[in-house]
Structure 1
């Protein structure tokens, strides 16, 4: 988790358990009955309508014991999941499932890859809710705020100078790969720099989240008041709310005005000025790349992803506070950020289920581009150099294909 930083997933209706792959089960925190059987028993894949993706234990357990649904009725061990979080959890009917990836990009990508390719699940119609906590810019939100992103930007995928050795005229030690200054678009792309998800689904999620009652507490109220003296931080001093803004992914847990401003600029630069930096977290681009590859394999629908992050701390100090104090104080809004995951997320999950036949089974067709910076799913990205595949979906070549952009040209 990047507390200076931080998926709603769904699928098909649960098919009756008959014959497929054997798997072991164990109860978790008093979890339910499980669905394992005797030796050699085979069951059909579970087809969730919604799959909730959390990143560490407190996020995961925020869904346990809620009155609306019980995800501990089936506890399913999945090969390839984190050894700390080896199970997916599902309701008895299989309509809602949930997992914990483990923190940072490698854990997220590894767990979601294992999920996508597990024969225990059919995810072709599943909605994914990424549901974690994050750091937040006080320019856009505050402790306890609930944010929904259209863009996930991998801001640390850059060259880096130690700040003591950077060129004197550089405002930051970060330089986009293949470029020669911080304000130049990267001339070398890996493909995971930017993902865009379904804006129509995001707007639905925002409207549903606003029907939930957000938590707040005296500790968070007292702390956020420190930001009131700077008019630019008015949002940071306000009570929690639901915010549409974008998220920055980095394994590096950063803090401070200089890095906050640097990654604000990176977010704008990588998206051709479209995205608005708001939250910081350590997993989302790893999760999105795994889902992207699943979509290319026909195993998931990339238009069914929601990125929700609740704010546990600020990415920069209040006036008069040092960056070190801001960092080492750690998450002053941690408790309410955890509570606000289900507070905002439950209305989304239950609305998808209640409107399944009328609206969500067929999916919400996006009115915007969705996918990665290469245009791998087809269409033309509204950021970056444009589609690497001529606007058509990527196809598997007869030989290995290595793609990079250098000096403004795509090389294959």
Structure 2
């Protein structure tokens, strides 16, 4: 199941898919209630082996559409591999325009309290403070459960190898903008051609940009994962989608160990030396959009091909995860290697509090006429 967030990401697959010799990606259309009004159908090949859905941008759209998808009665998703495939901003310390990132962690660093930076105390580096705290960059004492998700690192590594088979697109416009970062040695990776990298993603509805904000969220990502995550790609949907998939996994509807997050870099999250944050965000075309969309398909198609080709030998039975899987609460069982530990004593949450699926929970209520 290929998951896109908005039309250009979806178009990358539908425009080029005929070249794959794997069928027509829109041969079958399924329209369950609850999908985005802009993208009301799940599209599949005739054999049903490959499907694609577009969720809509932002956390609310993504969660609502993904919920409709996993609850669709026409789909059996218990053995499905999910490829969350979208474009993103990129940290110039880690990668460059057009690069492809496969993630182990997805972090929601904007899920904090905030005061206006113009009213900060002198010893504060940011207006962001974790819930339950009164200073920046302290671990939250109040958790919502969506702050951090960890994915199957063995599957991530396998997907990275498959994606590395692709010849990634590049162009002169992107090369010119990359060159602006060469005066800062810490941005060496930003000046290189596109590549496949293993690093992590953040989720924020706010499209943030600039050196200070990006550094704050980079530090937050490191803090909330006990130093394990590598802040790399900035996006708007991943944690929302992963929360839906995790809840679906609790009920046996999907296999959370079969989820992949792939992002391709369309822009830098902070400016090159000598350019202001505002100018970088609003007045300069970084020119990474075209190659990011193209590489979404090129790298993603290699992952799709690899899973199909290796289905009987490897992927049908799943790839065992050597690491913890799930959220900060420990909802799928085990003890998170980040945060305060499992809320459930290391045990997996049972569906509906242990009730059998399908059991009536609420009796019919008779409402008197007014």
- Name the residue aligned to 2:8: 58
- 2:60 equivalent to 1:106: yes
In the TM superposition, what is the alpha-carbon distance from 1:278 to its structure 2 partner? 0.4
In the TM superposition, what is the alpha-carbon distance from 1:65 to its structure 2 partner? 3.3
In the TM superposition, what is the alpha-carbon distance from 1:357 to its structure 2 partner? 1.2
Conservation of the 8 A alpha-carbon contact between 2:174 and 2:286: no
User: Per the alignment, do residues 331 and 121 of structure 1 end up closer, same or farther by CA in structure 2, a change over 3 Å counting?
Assistant: farther
- 2:75 equivalent to 1:121: yes
Match of 1:247 among 193, 197, 201: 201
Q: Distance in 2 between matches of 1:303 and 1:134?
A: 23
In the TM superposition, what is the alpha-carbon distance from 1:398 to its structure 2 partner? 8.0
Match of 2:267 among 306, 313, 324: 313
In the TM superposition, what is the alpha-carbon distance from 1:119 to its structure 2 partner? 0.2
User: Per the alignment, do residues 398 and 292 of structure 1 end up closer, same or farther by CA in structure 2, a change over 3 Å counting?
Assistant: closer
- Name the residue aligned to 1:11: none
- 2:36 equivalent to 1:82: yes
- Name the residue aligned to 1:361: 316
User: Per the alignment, do residues 398 and 362 of structure 1 end up closer, same or farther by CA in structure 2, a change over 3 Å counting?
Assistant: closer
User: Per the alignment, do residues 198 and 398 of structure 1 end up closer, same or farther by CA in structure 2, a change over 3 Å counting?
Assistant: closer
Match of 1:387 among 342, 346, 365: 342
Q: Distance in 2 between matches of 1:398 and 1:75?
A: 35
SS at match of 1:63: helix
Q: How many pairs were matched up?
A: 349
User: Per the alignment, do residues 242 and 375 of structure 1 end up closer, same or farther by CA in structure 2, a change over 3 Å counting?
Assistant: same
- Name the residue aligned to 1:238: 192
The within-5 A match list for 1:19-34 is: none
In the TM superposition, what is the alpha-carbon distance from 1:397 to its structure 2 partner? 3.7
- Name the residue aligned to 1:93: 47
- 2:148 equivalent to 1:208: no
Q: Distance in 1 between matches of 2:59 and 2:288?
A: 23
Match of 1:345 among 280, 296, 300: 300
TM-score calculated relative to the size of structure 1: 0.83
Q: Which is richer in helix? A: 2
The within-5 A match list for 1:163-174 is: 163-174=117-128
Q: Distance in 1 between matches of 2:198 and 2:41?
A: 31
Q: Distance in 2 between matches of 1:398 and 1:205?
A: 35
Gaps of 5+ in 2: 356-370
Which 4+ runs in 1 deviate beyond 4 A?
Answer: none
- Name the residue aligned to 2:240: 286
Task: Quote the RMSD (CA, aligned, Å).
Answer: 1.1
Match of 1:71 among 10, 25, 48: 25
- 2:72 equivalent to 1:134: no
In the TM superposition, what is the alpha-carbon distance from 1:331 to its structure 2 partner? 4.7
TM-score calculated relative to the size of structure 2: 0.93
Over residues 302-336 of structure 1, what are the superposed CA-to-partner deviations in whole Å (9 max), with x where a residue is unaligned? 00011000000000000000101111135520000
- Name the residue aligned to 2:290: 335
In the TM superposition, what is the alpha-carbon distance from 1:394 to its structure 2 partner? 1.3
- 2:330 equivalent to 1:375: yes
Match of 2:254 among 288, 300, 313: 300
Q: Distance in 2 between matches of 1:339 and 1:285?
A: 24
Conservation of the 8 A alpha-carbon contact between 2:87 and 2:292: yes
- Name the residue aligned to 1:404: none
Q: Distance in 2 between matches of 1:97 and 1:199?
A: 24
SS at match of 2:134: coil
User: Per the alignment, do residues 188 and 330 of structure 1 end up closer, same or farther by CA in structure 2, a change over 3 Å counting?
Assistant: farther
Please, which moves more after superposition, 72-81 or 211-220? 72-81
Over residues 262-281 of structure 1, what are the superposed CA-to-partner deviations in whole Å (9 max), with x where a residue is unaligned? 00000011111111100100
SS at match of 1:75: strand
